[in-house]
Amino acid sequence: MSIIYNSELRVFKLDTPDSTYAIEVSPTGYLLHLYYGASVPDTDLRYLRRMIGVSSTSAQVQDAKENGMSLDTVHLEYPAEGAGDMRISALSIRGENGCNATAIKYKSHKIYNGKPAIKGLPAVYTNTDDEADTLEIVCEDTLTGAEVTLIYTAFTQLDAITRSVRVKNTSDRSFSIERVHSTALDLPDMNFEMMHLQGRWAKERTLVKRHLQYGLQGIHSKRGTSSHHNNPFLALGRDGYTEETGEVYGFSLVYSSNFKVEIEVDFLGTSRVLMGINPDTFGWLLEPGEEFASPEAVMVYSNHGVGGMSRTYHKLYRYNLCRGEWKTKKRPILINNWEATYFDFDDDKLVAIAKDASELGIEMLVMDDGWFGVRNNDKSSLGDWYVNESKLKGGLGKLVERVNALGMKFGIWFEPEMISPDSDLYRAHPDWCIKVEGREMSIGRTQYVLDMSRADVRDNIFDQMYKILSSANIEYVKWDFNRNLTEVGSALLPHERQKEFFHRYILGVYELLERLLAAFPKLLLEGCAGGGGRFDPGMLYYSPQIWTSDDTDAMERLEIQYGTSMVYPLSSMSAHVSACPNHQTKRVTSFKTRGDVAMGGAFGYELDITTLNDDERALVREQVAAYHKYYNVIQNGDYYRLINPTEDKANFTCASAWESVSQDKNEVLLTYVVMRTQPTLQRYIRLAGLDPEKVYTDTATGIKYSGALLMNAGLNISGNYTDGTSLVWHFVADNR
């Protein structure tokens, strides 16, 4: 059992292969955080309890029943609002008396094998019970009757601990939850660099770093999605850490709506981390007997730097978060018609693309926006999910038959959460939009947002999608979401519950996704939100791949895919070879480099393949062959970031490099891309993750290198390269 409780010491100890997490129950029932870090064998960690003396003149408030303890200075496991701890709090409950002073104390606990699901929410799961153990600590607030259960799952093969919270109203009166974070962690000092993924549309998830300072710092979203701008992920690297060495703590939220990650460094230099639903746009009225479940936070500890943290997340999210038919199944190489045609297509044009694509080894055609209603631009028809037969003559079934006859699979685009003012659905049900009565509705991309908290709305959209997906052999759906939520309100919620809307909305989206996949269990679902605006673990639970960004420029994708890899596996990152000059940046990049960069994800194409010349068609065949040849090492191997394209911009060299190593360390694929050339470049790349005792052969040249040589001295890549040059090395171990 990886979790134990010492009843004499009143200490809980959670162990993963290389980390330990410890909690103490104080004499008066407060949960005190003792330790989270590298694995230790000791059970009695009470000496780590932080006790700061409280003078009679101090502003710190001392607990009346526990001599010498101030809640404002101890490390608390799950801090509550207004009962002596003046730092940021994880929990705030406003009772019938109108006050929100909240105090929770230990009541009971249980420890068991396996991991529970969270009703209505995506969460990490176990494939077998021996993969993890779970601790549930039940606490209570005797004044409000709130029973607060802290749920921890420690994984036995990965250095990951998941946390969530369940609040139950055990009283005969209602109360309001104003704040309920999924995790809280007090660290003993502030000697950390904070890392997070910042961005915007077409520039998502760029890695940003800054050292912790006294006071508040953090990231958030209140856009109704996890957003292009901040990802629900944050890491803390202890001073001196590197990509492959040192201590790093990762925090990732399995949630697709408004979130907040806050860090406060207090007057003593203690760092407190909170992660959960954004309390700025949240409230929940809990009636007697009702329960509320928070989304799940995933904490990862690494003493092998940022790379060690990332590889843990990659394994956990690929094998214990993604689900279904396509969880680990080899994905088809697809071609999407969006950048080839935009709205201007018909069935013959799509079949022409499919014919040329099939001849080159591409395996699936995806029909993007414009196939439904009277949709010839972005100004109409969202919500009218019936086939536009003026474009698809003979209907959808006939088109799919023609594509299948070419040996190609078929996929289709939907934007289920949206509605156009110019649509049959809006004319019939204008009340189905998100809106606040009396306030003008904002519009984005000429569309409004449907109220997905309503069952009748979800039923209508599901029925329309079911009819389409049942009408033909459709094996893939791209689920898009192209605007933020504004003027947030629901016609069905009473005024005292309107603050529940954002959470109810995403619960409705999750329910619809769950229903769709239950009806079509073999469907490959790809998430999208104006590109990468909802690239989060919550969506990965339903869609094992997500459109990484609307920016398909290979040079831009270097930073986007580098940042995304901090927490998300390569198999989740849809990456396509697109047209050139690029449609977003107008940059000209070689076809080879576009392919090499796209190979670092779920590989595909986004261009009019019928216009390619013979040389480009030959390159497509080579790329398709490379995808199949290197699939296992890229998708199932360990990923190592070798050169950070964001930081390298500040140097003279300006490049990006990454590496995949097979699990048995017998195969290596190294990719190097020059972003900005230099007249005289001298550079060595030190590889990582190899077996130092093995001898690796470069399959292109036959040159042999020891693993130790490649990791310690590096590979000499000196030379003169033009901007946008990409180089790929493939090594195999002689004794594999």
Residues designated catalytic: 480, 550
SS3 538: helix
**For residues 154 and 15, is the Cβ–Cβ distance under 8 A?**
yes
**For residues 333 and 603, is the Cβ–Cβ distance under 8 A?**
yes
| Other CB atoms within 10 A of residue 216 CB | 12
**For residues 257 and 503, is the Cβ–Cβ distance under 8 A?**
yes
Can you tell me the distance from the alpha carbon of 596 to that of 386, in angstroms, rounded to the nearest whole number?
38
* Gyration radius from the chain CA atoms: 27
3-state secondary structure 215-244: EEEEEEECCCCCCCCEEEEEEEEECCCCCC
Partners of 240 in the beta sheet? Answer: none
* Residue 619, C-beta contacts closer than 8 angstroms, at least 6 positions apart: 591, 592, 595
DSSP track, 148-163: EEEEEEEESSSSEEEE
**For residues 517 and 306, is the Cβ–Cβ distance under 8 A?**
no
- ∠ CA 55-56-60, nearest 5°, is 65
Map tokens 């760092």 to a residue: 271
At 275, list the tokens: 């992660």
Can you tell me the distance from the alpha carbon of 217 to that of 214, in angstroms, rounded to the nearest whole number?
9
At 701, list the tokens: 């040249």
* Residue 159, C-beta contacts closer than 8 angstroms, at least 6 positions apart: 16, 17, 18, 19, 300, 301, 302, 308, 312
Q: Where are the alpha helices (DSSP H) in 274-394?
A: 305-320, 338-341, 347-359
Can you tell me the distance from the alpha carbon of 417 to that of 433, in angstroms, rounded to the nearest whole number?
10
Task: Provide the residue type at 357 as one letter.
Answer: A
Map tokens 């760029």 to a residue: 206
Report, in this order, helix, strand and coil percent for the chain, each rounded to 5: 20, 30, 45
